Amino acid sequence: MSIIQSMKQNYSDELINQNHNITAKLDEFLQNKPLANEKEIRAFALENHIDEKIAFNHMHERRKKDTFIKGEYPSKIEDEKSLQLLLNQMKKETQLEKQLSISNLLLKIQSQYLLEKFIIFNGNSILGNWIEDAQEEIENYDKVDLKIYDLLTNLLNFCDKLPINESELKSSKIGKKINKLGKSVSDRLIKIKCEEIVSKWKKLIDGKPNDNHDKDPEFNRKTKREEVGQFDRNYKK
């Protein structure tokens, strides 16, 4: 390693250590004073020679993360960081009520960029797991909370607008899980929705144009449908 490369490496290491120390100090401060106001944060930043903007950004990110951990979600997902926090929460969320709240939040995502990121962050695999778990609960228990059908409706509607490709379908196996759900569930509307999604994705794998997107040359990578309507359900045993 040359002298210049060595100097650059040392400088880079110093910056990493410095940022780590700043983060540690801010975390400790916010842990001791989670409700610190702007005046207190500004004073802390000045005392510890921390850039005020960095301190406030860290405070906002920390509080946003704490909110997700508590199961309190924003009205909508507007940025990549919030999407990552939501996905992390989805990996461990098992309560039906909270899963339903998350599914409602997913349906509000209209940004094509965030839909792409959802897949990049492996969100389709998480969706597949939720669908599989819901199906197993329906099959294994005589009495299930009817809200589980609302959850499945939301998840399927969200799946329908994901800009997923063949490789992602095969790696996540979400198509197989939806196909299995459609064959086993007794709810007619969910069965129909499963069939529609499986048919559309099968055409994608077979390289055939989708009936609704014949004129869209980019459909193999993304779908331009931004809204998915909710359908009514009449629950009767």
pLDDT at 23: 77
> Which of 90-94, 131-135, 229-233 bottoms out in mean pLDDT, i.e. has the lowest?
229-233
pLDDT band at residue 53, thresholds of 50, 70 and 90? confident
Q: Degrees (nearest 5) of the Cα angle 212, 214, 215?
A: 110
pLDDT at 71: 66
Q: Is the pLDDT of residue 235 over 70?
A: no
In whole angstroms, how far apart are CA 29 and each of 36, 56, 230?
9, 12, 45
CATH code, residues 72-237: 1.20.930.10
Q: Is the pLDDT of residue 234 over 50?
A: no
Hey, how many other C-beta atoms are within 10 angstroms of the C-beta on 47?
A: 8
pLDDT at 65: 66
Q: Which residues contact 150 (CB under 8 A, 6 or more apart)?
A: 100, 233
pLDDT (average), residues 203-222: 54
> Which of 53-62, 92-101, 227-236: highest mean pLDDT?
92-101
Q: Which residue intervals of the chain bear CATH 1.20.930.10? A: 72-237
User: pLDDT tens digits for 21-50?
Assistant: 777 877 777 777 776 778 888 887 888 878
Q: Is the pLDDT of residue 10 over 70?
A: no
pLDDT at 214: 42
